[in-house]
Chains A and B, each alone.
Chain A
């Protein structure tokens, strides 16, 4: 049992795909302009990650080693198409604001990375847990960026204005350069906290 908990929690902080492994940066920076978009992207990503982990873990003994990467990509691309069509059908607004980045989940290195490094070597249960942990870790990173950028940049959270109409807004945080600045500062903060914790011990 402890190993399941370990596989789950490693994705959240210790091996957080965005802050630690630097994977999946494009959607992280592009879709974190608001908390709503960040949550939508994180959830789509988690869904694809868990489903592709399940399938790949189930068929891992059937795939010849040499063509495993194309096989993984086909599995992943199928689930991305499912998400794409689902969002288009039921959440059109979200689909419009995520736009290009839904089909681009295919080439997100987090998913192929987990398929290659974990699901193709481990059993079903562990692979599901790994997918969930990594997906939620990704969502967490995306949300922290989205919340900071939306709150400071526009004075609102989940499109609900919190700071009143008088708040001038810091537009630059919502524009592309703000994404780079915010993630840099957050990462620096995380490093600093880690170091302080190490010294306290």
Chain B
């Protein structure tokens, strides 16, 4: 039951984009069309779930050796290496998937949502199962936000927008309004 609550909370209530402000660069960068957002979203779901699982064990190691202050350095290196590994593995094992996710994978290393969620997991002291479920939920929330935004943005292309607001400014306003809508989910799940 708590697992379902965690998923709902991480997808809707504390959405990575709209309430935690993680991963905004890809959010504004790759949300030009719905297919690219799907590709990016899938790559994030894949890497975020994997990275959170692995950093869970890394943290155990760091605590064992009493070097928790190296957390930032170790985590970012693990994520960077992981992304490379995933890229190589996908290329060999599943060319179809590689073709779909390929160009998004390198971008993910600097996606702060991955590192952010990994650190949040450690801070909240989740167990391994909760950790993975929370990471998965967060990634799905990211994908959801990306696809909604891409849908609105495709419409924006053909709308009549005041001169100075064209381009980025109107994108931010749009994101703000979607974020307002997402606030309707607040208090849906208590105590997570």
Write the residues of chain A forming the contact surface with B, with a CB cutoff of 8 angstroms. 22-23, 25-27, 29-30, 69-70, 73-74, 77-78, 80-81, 84-85, 100, 103-104, 106-109, 112, 172, 175-181, 183-185, 187-189, 191-192, 195
Q: Are B172 and A77 within 8 A (Cβ)?
A: no
Q: Is B25 an interface residue (CB 8 A)?
A: yes
What residues of chain A lie closer than 8 Å to B71, measured between beta carbons? 103
Residue of A nearest to B166 (CB): A191
Mask: chain B, 1-33; 1 = CB below 8 Å from A; 0 = not: 000000000000000001111111100100000
B36 within 8 A of A: no
Asked if A177 and B177 sit within 8 Å, CB to CB, the answer is yes
Contact check, B25 vs A192: say whether CB atoms are below 8 A apart. Answer: no
Given A180-B173, A184-B176, A185-B173, list of 18 further CB < 8 A pairs? Answer: A22-B25, A22-B28, A29-B24, A70-B80, A77-B73, A81-B72, A81-B73, A100-B20, A100-B116, A100-B120, A103-B71, A106-B76, A107-B115, A177-B183, A184-B165, A184-B168, A184-B171, A187-B172
CB-CB < 8 A to A81: which residues of B?
Answer: 69-70, 72-73
Which residues in window 113-171 of B have CB below 8 A to A? 115-116, 119-120, 123, 162-166, 168-171
Q: Quick check: A26 and B163 within 8 Å, CB to CB? A: no
**Given A77-B73, A104-B115, A177-B179, does the pair A109, B25 have CB atoms closer than 8 Å?**
yes
Give chain A nearest CB distance to B6 CB in angstroms. 18
CB neighbours (8 Å) of A188 from chain B are: 162, 164-165, 169-170
Would you list the 8 A-B pairs with minimal beta carbon distance, nearest first? A184-B172, A180-B176, A192-B164, A30-B21, A188-B169, A177-B179, A181-B176, A184-B173
Q: How far is the CA of A191 from the CA of B168 in the complex (A)?
A: 10
- A77 and B20 form a contact (CB under 8 A): no
Q: Point out the residues of chain A lying under 8 angstroms from B86, CB to CB.
A: none
Chain A proximity of B187: nearest CB distance (Å): 13
What residues on A are CB-neighbors of B18 within 8 Å? Answer: 176-177
- 13 residue pairs of the A-B complex, CB under 8 angstroms, read A27-B21, A29-B21, A73-B76, A81-B70, A100-B116, A100-B119, A100-B120, A103-B71, A178-B176, A181-B172, A184-B169, A184-B175, A191-B166
Question: Would A85 and B24 count as touching, CB distance under 8 A?
Answer: no
* Cβ-based interface call for B88 (8 A): no
Question: Residue of B at shortest CB range from A73?
Answer: B76
Given known pairs A73-B76, A104-B115, A184-B172, the reply for A112 and B20 (CB within 8 Å) is: no
Decide: B73 and A185 in contact? CB cutoff 8 A: no
Residues from chain A with a CB closer than 8 A to the CB of B177 are 177, 181
Q: A112 touching B69 by the CB < 8 A rule? A: no
Residues of chain B with a CB closer than 8 A to A26's CB: 21-25, 112
Give every chain A residue within 8 A of B168 (Cβ-Cβ).
22, 184, 187
Within 8 Å by CB of B112, from A104, A176, A177, lies: A104
